Amino acid sequence: MIRNEMKSHLTDKIIPFWKNLRDDEFGGYYGYVDYDLKVDKQAVKGCILNSRITWFFANAYMLLKDESLLEEARHGYEYLKKHCLDKECGGVFWSTKFDGTPEDTIKHTYNQAFSIYALSSYYDASKDEEALAIALELYELIETKCRDEIGYLEAFERDFTPAENDKLSENGVIADKTMNTLLHVFEAYTELYRVTKKPEVKAKLEWILDTIADKIYNPVLHRQEVFFDKYMNSIIDLHSYGHDIETAWLIDRGVEVIGEEKYRQKMAPITTDLEAQIYKIAYDGHSLHNECEKGVVNTHRIWWVQAETVVGFANAYQKAPEHREYLEAVQNTWEFIKEHVTDPREGSEWYWEVDQEGKPYEGRPIVEPWKCPYHNGRMCIEIIKREIEGI
């Protein structure tokens, strides 16, 4: 069974790798491991990386009940609290130096969201009220400083004056607003609402769902748009396959947590459409292409895209077991991951990316500010928890 294999993968491969990156001298976790598995102990520590590691260990603990995992989550939380939070201006820095001093003081809404995500899960695991209080402070900060009447803004200087959004803009454009940030604010607020049941958070979740349905989702092209101007007009012909399959299950999860039939009816056709379209145009029988820009498909196999493919199609099959093709997609993508994306070298984890045939692109790091256990660790946790027949 895939569930059993993933439990072994989680406990024998992913967890030990990240435990070994713990920095007991300066706190947090080492921020860079190159392709040759050399750890750079003086590399920049991304605050997103630290938040995601904290989230991962908190959720791994809640699944496995191993006290050492709660200790790892606490270690990540202490670093976030002491070094990633800006005590003067509020909010979370983009990154710190290896010793915990600020490195990049840009405040990005995406980064604030991931801290909320981590803090909410850590609170659930530890019952540490201080962690929840910080999460709620960051929620208030996003709602008061990181949005306008149309949607969530992106990047700010340390004092929250606007800055260029170069960190979450790609493909030759600079976006005023992005699908990616909106999605992960939704993800973070879903977790915050799950542990607090605060009505104001629920209201924001419903507003985000309306925005996704009305402005992000393109029913003609059966996809989400990715990059937008400040008025939420799409500025590039880009289809991000990984984000669409991830969005589908994260929306379904959020709707479940909200518990409103109105939104289940509104969003279910959208998530079903996204799943069907990704299966039709991006899945090739064993794994998922990366994206399509202006009609040109990027066939690289990115680590996080493959992880979200497994969860997304498992979620699709769980909703509609008559669609056996989704079950087969889960099975085949997991086989591809095991054979090609997982790095077989002792003391490693997953490659960043491989080609369509599964050959790794040498030179891509094994760890850097974006490469973390959030996607592949979450994949294992989700599949283990769901107990889906056939998986």
* pLDDT tens, position by position, 44-72: 999 999 999 999 999 999 999 999 999 99
Q: Bridge-partner residues for 148, per DSSP?
A: none
Strand order from edge to edge, sheet including 291-293: 238-240, 291-293, 296-298
pLDDT digits (tens, 9 = 90+) for 191-248: 999 999 999 999 999 999 999 999 999 999 999 999 999 999 999 999 999 999 999 9
CATH for the 2-386 domain, from 1.50.10.10, 3.40.50.1010, 3.40.50.20, 1.10.10.10: 1.50.10.10
| Chain centroid offset of residue 283 CA | 20
Which residues, other chains included, contact 318 with Cβ-Cβ below 8 Å and sequence gap of 6+?
A: 386, 388
Quick check: 112 and 51 in contact, CB under 8 A?
Answer: no
Q: Quote the pTM value.
A: 0.98
pLDDT digits (tens, 9 = 90+) for 256-267: 999 999 999 999
Residue 206 is predicted with a pLDDT of: 98
Nearest 5°: CA angle at 374, between 332 and 165? 115
Which pair of tokens denotes residue 99?
Answer: 């010793």
Cα gap 322→262, rounded to integer Å = 25
Percentage of residues in the chain having pLDDT higher than 90: 98
Place of tokens 């095991």: 338
Cα gap 56→65, rounded to integer Å = 13
Phi-psi region of 259 (alpha: psi -120 to 50; beta: other; left: phi over 0): left
Domain assignments of the chain as residue spans, ordered by start: 2-386
Residue 305 is predicted with a pLDDT of: 98
Instruction: Give the mean model confidence (pLDDT) for residues 118-141.
Output: 98
pLDDT surpasses 90 at 170: no
Cα gap 323→307, rounded to integer Å = 20
Residue 21 is predicted with a pLDDT of: 98
Cα gap 282→285, rounded to integer Å = 9
Quick check: 249 and 311 in contact, CB under 8 A?
Answer: yes
**Cα–Cα distances in angstroms (integers) from residue 231 to residues 62, 166, 186, 379, 387, in the given order:** 41, 18, 19, 34, 42
pLDDT surpasses 90 at 364: yes
Which pair of tokens denotes residue 174?
Answer: 């600079």
Nearest CA to 102 out of 60, 44, 56 is that of 44
Q: Bridge-partner residues for 218, per DSSP?
A: 223
pLDDT surpasses 90 at 255: yes
Instruction: Give the mean model confidence (pLDDT) for residues 65-83.
Output: 98
